[in-house]
Amino acid sequence: MSRPVVALVGRTNVGKSTLLNRLLGSRLVVVDDRPHVTRDRVVVPFSHEGRNMLLVDTGGWAIDAQTPLDAKVSGQAELAMRQADVIVLVVDVRDGVIAADEEVAELVRKSGKAAMLVVNKVDAPHLEPAASDFHRLGIGPVVALSAMHNRGIDEFRDALVELLPPPVDTVAPPSDAVRIAIVGRPNAGKSTLLNALLGDERAIVDATPGTTRDSLDAEMQWQGKKLILVDTAGIRRKSRVEYGIDYFSILRSMQSIERADVVLLVIEATEPATSQDITIARYVLDSGRGLCIVVNKWDLVPPELRERHKNWMKQRLEFLSWVPVLRISALHNRHVKQTLHRALEVWEARRQQLSRSVVDEAVKEAVDKQPPPRVGTRRLDIVWAHQDEEKPWQFVLHVNDPQLIVPTYQRYLEHQLRERFDFRGVPVHLVFVRAGRRKKRRKEP
């Protein structure tokens, strides 16, 4: 199921990034009083009341761009509005309705998209009457809140969920098919890889970044297994390539990742492991999909620099040390088929079904080898554990108190389970829940 896209738009310094951070419960986006701190769009997953969505934070929109950078930032916001399912226009109650708000509101109305108006910085009750003046912008519902002080946030979340389009299940592939998404930055060679795997020109290949406009599904047989290959991209017409390319690449990659069993993250060898590569990789891990890193254009790396290249990537992607890395040249069809071989190995590992006794034993051995650290005077006690039936990569640990788990010990347990069950290329998610009371055994008479 593809997540609907929610775009936060508005002029500079109205608190869009502060609102996003408040919703996520973390300081993901840099917040500053200076205008245009947020220049590129930030795309993050968010859930409320069982509805999943993608939130897009945009830079401030301006009526008259004073600099080329201002024009690009405004263009980014307009582009996000065109791709959104729901638009959230954020304004500042302290400034009242100004011309810039009216201009953005007109764009929102013309888009025809579901929309709501957030009157931000209503930090105290005496400011609430001033929020009613913003009804004349013609966008509703109107929610008054203070992102900084956490006022009205619950009402905003509920109103946002009401505006989301009804969930629509995508057509599921045959149960015996393995869905493999090919994702990565524009021009990394995703379409070239797809064509090399299929042996024909299924996807158009062009040197201009962003040639592929939408996802392409292609079926093939490999070693008796039916595969569905999804080539993703993320750009519209070439006039938007200059400032829209990264956003679309990430957005469409995220949407395709959710429909995949295994993801091939294509990284360009001449520009490896950028921040965008890392963003996509982290999303794959959060989604519980299998992952293989494909370093394309390996033929362009001089032989004398290849070992240094490998070491640099190992340091840069240390948090992915358990992910298979393949180095190929899709253009020259070198080592291309290895990607399918490794993807199927990851798929097989990801779908393992383990009994409770096997999981219990593995966790017990891990605890015996390294007991959990004390938190104050208390120590974590893992009563029992089992594998999630619907999400095989997820394990549920029933413990005396979930508050006693520390991140370092959680990572240790994840590592131990991955090693024990050979989850190479598969993220291991641990969920800690409070265990019920242990039943006391009756004494024998």
Distance CA 41, CA 80 (A): 8
Q: Which residues contact 8 (CB under 8 A, 6 or more apart)?
A: 16, 19, 20, 55, 56, 57, 58, 88, 90
Torsion of CA 255, 323, 28, 209, to 10 degrees: -50
Report angle CA 352, 358, 361 to the nearest 5 degrees: 140
Report angle CA 418, 419, 424 to the nearest 5 degrees: 60
Distance CA 135, CA 156 (A): 16
> What pLDDT was estimated at residue 35?
43
Region 82-95 average pLDDT: 92
CA-wise closest residue to 241 among 213, 273, 203: 213
Render pLDDT for 158-202 as a digit per residue (tens, 0 to 9).
Answer: 999 999 998 865 544 445 789 999 988 878 888 889 889 888 655
Q: Is the pLDDT of residue 210 over 90?
A: no
**Above pLDDT 90, what percent of the chain?**
52
CA-wise closest residue to 405 among 436, 428, 369, 430: 430
Torsion of CA 17, 18, 21, 22, to 10 degrees: -140
What kind of fold does domain 5-163 have according to CATH? Answer: Rossmann fold (3.40.50)
Q: Is the pLDDT of residue 97 over 90?
A: yes
Domain positions in the chain are 5-163, 177-350, 356-434
Model confidence, pTM: 0.67
Which residue has tokens 């394309």?
A: 296
> What pLDDT was estimated at residue 445?
47
Q: What CATH class is the domain 177-350?
A: alpha beta
Helix-strand-coil percent breakdown of the chain, rounded to 5? 40, 25, 40
361 vs 82, residue with greater confidence: 361
Identical fold for domains 177-350 and 356-434, yes or no, is no
CA-wise closest residue to 89 among 124, 114, 126, 122: 114
Render pLDDT for 263-293 as a digit per residue (tens, 0 to 9).
Answer: 999 999 998 888 878 888 888 898 899 999 9
> What pLDDT was estimated at residue 259?
79
Identify the architecture of domain 356-434 in CATH.
2-Layer Sandwich (3.30)
Using DSSP's 3-state secondary structure scheme, residue 118 falls into: strand
**Eight-class DSSP state of 58:** -
> What pLDDT was estimated at residue 200?
63
The answer to which of 7-11, 79-83, 252-256, 293-297 has the lowest mean pLDDT is 252-256
In order, the DSSP letters of 182-217 are EEESTTSSHHHHHHHHHTS--S---SSTT---S-EE
User: 264 near 280, Cβ under 8 Å?
Assistant: no
Q: Is the pLDDT of residue 237 over 50?
A: no
> What's the token pair of residue 93?
């109650």
Q: Is the pLDDT of residue 239 over 70?
A: no
Distance CA 75, CA 9 (A): 11
ω into residue 141 within 30 of 0, thus cis? yes
